[in-house]
Copies of this chain bind each other. A is one copy, B any other.
Amino acid sequence: MHGTSLARNTWYMSDDCAAVWRRAEHLAQRLLVRKGTAIYRQGEQVQQVYFVLDGEVELSALFPDGETAIFDLLGRNGLFGEGPALTGEPCHGTATATQDSALLSFNIRRLQVALPHHPELAWVFLRVLAMRHYTCAQRLLHVFRGEPWIRVGELLNRLMQLHGRPIAMPARGMLLAISLTHAEIARMTGLSRVSVTRVLKQMRAQKVIAVIERRIIILAPNRLVFDQ
């Protein structure tokens, strides 16, 4: 079980991997950022890889028509900025602290020099990047399919892996110990809020999920994805 500070993460790394990053604090600077602060902005080039010690950071992209997509919420043990720092490409989105947060900030040039002397960190870094890419590819395949059920199902399935707690009462299933609004789910799936509400209603009617006291319980995990 995770602490409450993990409650909204859409992605994070295991405590084993995270321990390796925490032990590398001597290679980093510690940053304290206030709620609402932009750590970097869409289009900027960054030289830093950020590890979340505590707090919450939202990664979001703004489209020219003013709409935004949330592509990750990162809490404790989240890593971000590594893509632009390693590739030299501009950031896809803006990283904003949604709570007062403590971060480790690793300069990528300093990491490059240090990694040969820290093979465990190099290996964990590779595995984290592979997992982020794997998750991204999974999301891409589901969004490809277009149907709102599949998009919402993929998100709920992913959140179940992260936040699911088996329960037997009031129904047998997996309780999602996470609070997301329909508007947030919409911004994470590229759907309208109305579509999200409609899909969740269908899922309730078909006994794939139950909603009790605003918490989602997954009753039939195997029907979340590729079903309807």
* Residues of A that sit less than 8 Å from B by CB: 61, 63-64, 69, 71, 82-87, 89, 92, 112, 115-116, 119, 122-123, 125-127, 129-134, 136-141, 143-146, 190, 226
For A126, the chain B residues whose CB sits under 8 A away are 86, 122, 125-126, 129
Bound-state CA distance A132–B190 (Å) is 22
CA distance A29 to B32 in the complex (A): 48
CB contacts (< 8 Å) of A131 on chain B: these are 86-87
Report if A141-B64 is in contact (Cβ < 8 Å); known contacts: A116-B116, A126-B86: no
Ranked nearest first, the 10 interchain pairs of A and B with the lowest CB-CB distance are A144-B190, A86-B130, A116-B119, A129-B129, A133-B133, A136-B136, A83-B134, A64-B226, A143-B143, A140-B140
Question: Which residues of chain B come closer than 8 Å to A85, judged between CB atoms?
Answer: 130
Complex: how many Å from CA A210 to CA B50? 43
Q: Which residues does chain B contribute within 8 Å of A122, judged by CB atoms?
A: 115-116, 119, 122, 126
If A136-B137, A141-B69 touch, whether A82 touches B116 (CB-CB below 8 Å) is no
